[in-house]
Structure 1
Amino acid sequence: MRGVPRDELVGELRKEVRQLRQAMETRPVIDQACGIMMASWRCDADTAWEILVDTSQRTNTKLHAVAALVVDSTHTRPMPSWLRSALLVSHGRVTGTAGSEDGGGPGDADGGDGRGSGGSG
């Protein structure tokens, strides 16, 4: 990279290394959340990814935080109702179907009627 001062180049490389490390740390939980979405909605990996990204963007919540809440809802605590609603809307937006609760989905241990998600948001 001609013309770029060495200190600037080193700073850019350090920033890139930090970003790569963060991606490596957060990727496993995102992949787990995608798997949960795939199993819950019988969708492919690309659709699950799009649902998570749409939910993250619409709720202004970091993607890894959304993913962690989805994963936690399988074994630690109920999914927050705001997230469950946002995921349903995102599922409808991504798949072109209504975001109705009859489709079940993540955090849906109660069969999809919306009364068993517990927690609030």
Structure 2
Amino acid sequence: MNDPQKAERTADTVSGLVEQVDQLRQAVDSHASIDQAIGIVVALGQVAPEQGWEVLREVSQHTNIKLRAVADLILAWGQNGDLPAEVRDELGASLARRAGPPPAEGPVT
């Protein structure tokens, strides 16, 4: 194998690795945003983390907004109080579907 062919294969390999690293970085960033948004949903809705994930997924599906974008909107909402009405409404509806029965008044006899 001559040097130009080897150099071209090496360049292709390096290019592929750089692309993989970029994709992994993006995945890690997305994962962090989603986990933080789940935390907000868990605290807000008093639900289990698994339910927080389900809420995010439902909001994404029902609003036709990518999951990471929904997570980013919820994180921004936690910081500045702004949340698009369609996301706010679906978030409330999804949390309401998970709400347990209201607590009983007084001791049960």
Deviation at 1:60, TM superposition (A): 1.1
The residue that corresponds to 2:57 in the other structure is: 53
Measured at CA, do residues 36 and 96 of structure 1 come closer, stay the same or move farther in structure 2, by a change above 3 Å?
closer
**Counterparts in 2 of 1:1-121, with a 5 A limit?**
19-93=23-97, 95=98
Measured at CA, do residues 53 and 15 of structure 1 come closer, stay the same or move farther in structure 2, by a change above 3 Å?
farther
Gaps of 5+ in 1: 1-9, 98-121
Per the normalisation by structure 2, the TM-score is 0.65
Partners of 2:73 and 2:67 lie apart in 1 by 10
**What RMSD, in angstroms, separates the aligned Cα atoms of the two structures?**
2.6
- Between the two proteins, the alignment pairs up a number of residues equal to 88
Deviation at 1:33, TM superposition (A): 0.6
Runs of 4+ residues over 3 Å off in structure 1: 12-21
Measured at CA, do residues 42 and 25 of structure 1 come closer, stay the same or move farther in structure 2, by a change above 3 Å?
same
Partners of 1:27 and 1:88 lie apart in 2 by 23
What is the identity, as a one-letter code, of the residue corresponding to 1:47? Q
Measured at CA, do residues 14 and 58 of structure 1 come closer, stay the same or move farther in structure 2, by a change above 3 Å?
farther
Deviation at 1:91, TM superposition (A): 2.2
Structure with the larger helix share:
2
What is the identity, as a one-letter code, of the residue corresponding to 2:79? H
Task: Using the TM superposition, name which of 68-77 and 48-57 deviates more.
Answer: 68-77
Deviation at 1:39, TM superposition (A): 0.6
Partners of 1:83 and 1:73 lie apart in 2 by 11
